[in-house]
Amino acid sequence: MSLLLVGAIVGGIAGGVAGGAVARRDGGGIAPVTATAAPAPLPPAPSPPASAQDPSAVAAVAEALSPSVVTVVNLLADGRTLGSGSGFVVDAERGYVVTNSHVVSDARGTGSGDAFEVIFPDSRRVDARLVGQDPDTDVAVLEIGRQEVPALTLGDSDAVPSGATVVAIGSALGEFRNSVTAGVVSGKGRRLPSELRRDIFLEDLIQTDAAISPGNSGGPLIWVATRQVIGVNTLVLREPGSEGLGFAVSSNTVRTIADELIRAGRVERGRIGIVYESFTGRQAPSLGLPAGATGIVVTEVVPGSPGAGAGIRPGDVITKVNEQRIDLEHPLLTIMLRFRPGDRVSLTIVRNGREQVTDVVLGRP
C-alpha cells in the first residue's frame, strides 16, 4: 500500500506534514506571513436540511458550486511553476481561499513557495498572498482580495453520516480544472496507518470512495444533501490493482485552523512531546482495558519534552485530557487545538492496569 498526497503536479511538491501537534520531531515550525488584521471568524455551519437526494443532485451541486473552486499555482521567484493543487473560496468579501498546506509548501525546504496564483474556472488569474499554513493538519489559507463569486460554506463534518453522497471538485492532474467526481462517505475519524505515516500526522480524516486524483489536493469534499463542504481533499492510499481510498481533512478541523490562521497567521498549539498510536474500543481488552475503552498508546516520549518531565512512559495509555475522552469523534490532535504553550492539562493515564491523573504544562513545538 502506498500513500499519495494529491497536490503535487509540477516540480514535485513534497507532501510535508511534519511531525504533529503532539509528536513533532523537528522541534520547529513554519513561520508564515502574519495576517494584517484580526477579522471575525468564519461563519458557523447552518443546520443541514432534511431534503432527500435525487439523481440530478450531483449535477446541480457541481454547477452551483464549481465557480468557487480554484486552481492554486505555487511559483518560484522567477515565475516558474513549482507545483499546483486546488482550493476554494470560503470568504468572498475578504478574499480568503482554503487549500492544503502541502500545496503551498516548497520541496526546497524553505517552508513555502515564493509566490502564488489562483486560477478561476473562467481562466481568470489572481495573485495570492499566503496568510498562513499549518502542516500538522495540512491546512493553508491564501488571500486574493474581494471576489464576485459565492463563498462555499464549511459544514459540520460531525453531522454527515457514513453513506452520505459527496462530491469532490478539483484540478485533476493539474490540467483538468473543476473535475467532478461523486461517491459516498466511507468512514469518519480515520487516522493514517502507522506504517504509512512517515512524517505525516493527520487525524479526524473523512474517508470517501469519490475518485481523488493528483491535483485535487485542497479541493472541497461537498455533502450533496446540504451543499456544504465537509472536508478538504488531501491524500489517497493505493494498493496495486485498486482504485485507492481517498481522504479529506474534516471541515470542523479546517474551520478551527483557518480561523486561527486568519487571526494570527499561524497556529500555535501546546506540545506534550509524545509519539502514539490510537486504538478502538474493540482493541481495548488486548491492552488490559475494559471493552469499549478508547484512547491512545504512547510509543515514544521525546527526551526533554513536557511529557518526559511529567513522567509519561512508553506503553502508557492516555484516555482523557481534562476529562475529555479521547475517541474517534475527539482525537487527541483535535483536542490539543484548544490549548496553547504554557497551559496546564490533566491527562488520565492507565499504567499496568491502574489509572492515575498526571498534570502536564504544555511546551512549544
Burial of 2 (0-12, 13-18, 19+ CB in 10 A): exposed
240 and 110 assigned to the same domain: yes
Type of residue found at 39: P
In a domain, 141, yes or no: yes
pLDDT per position as a tens digit, 109-136:
556 668 899 999 999 999 999 999 998 8
Cβ atoms of 87 and 72 closer than 8 Å: yes
12 and 63 assigned to the same domain: yes
Determine the structural domain holding residue 347 and report its residue range: 274-361
Of 91, 136, 138, 327, the catalytic one is 138
CA distances from 50 to 156, 226, 283 (A): 14, 9, 35
In a domain, 207, yes or no: yes
If one counts the domains in the chain, the total is: 2
105 and 246 assigned to the same domain: yes
Residue 354 in grid coordinates: 491502574
Domain boundary among 264, 293, 316: 264
In a domain, 50, yes or no: no
Q: For the chain, which ranges sit under pLDDT 70?
A: 1-55, 106-113, 174, 193-201, 241-243
Residues of the chain by 3-state class (helix, strand, coil), percent to 5: 15, 35, 50
Of 68, 84, 102, 251, the catalytic one is 102
Domain CATH code at residue 345: 2.30.42.10
In a domain, 69, yes or no: yes
302 and 237 assigned to the same domain: no
- What's the CA angle centered on 256, arms 252 and 259, to 5 degrees? 135
Domain boundary among 213, 246, 264: 264
In a domain, 350, yes or no: yes
CA distances from 245 to 123, 232, 248, 332 (A): 30, 14, 10, 23
Q: Is 138 a catalytic residue?
A: yes
In a domain, 40, yes or no: no
Q: How confident is the model at residue 111, as a pLDDT? A: 61
224 and 293 assigned to the same domain: no
Secondary structure of 11-23 in HEC code, one letter for each residue: CCCCCCCCCCCCC
Q: How confident is the model at residue 2, as a pLDDT? A: 53
Q: How confident is the model at residue 127, as a pLDDT? A: 95
Kindly report the number of other CB atoms within 10 A of residue 15's CB atom: 24
In a domain, 192, yes or no: yes
Domain boundary among 264, 283, 306: 264
Residue 211 in grid coordinates: 475518485
Q: How confident is the model at residue 24, as a pLDDT? A: 33
259 and 312 assigned to the same domain: no
177 and 147 assigned to the same domain: yes
Residue 6 in grid coordinates: 494529491
In a domain, 47, yes or no: no
226 and 352 assigned to the same domain: no
234 and 301 assigned to the same domain: no
Task: Give the Cα separation of 23 and 199 in Å (integer).
Answer: 10
Q: How confident is the model at residue 45, as a pLDDT? A: 55
Of 84, 86, 101, 217, the catalytic one is 217
204 and 108 assigned to the same domain: yes
Q: Is 217 a catalytic residue?
A: yes
pLDDT per position as a tens digit, 261-288:
999 898 888 899 998 988 877 888 888 8
181 and 68 assigned to the same domain: yes
253 and 341 assigned to the same domain: no
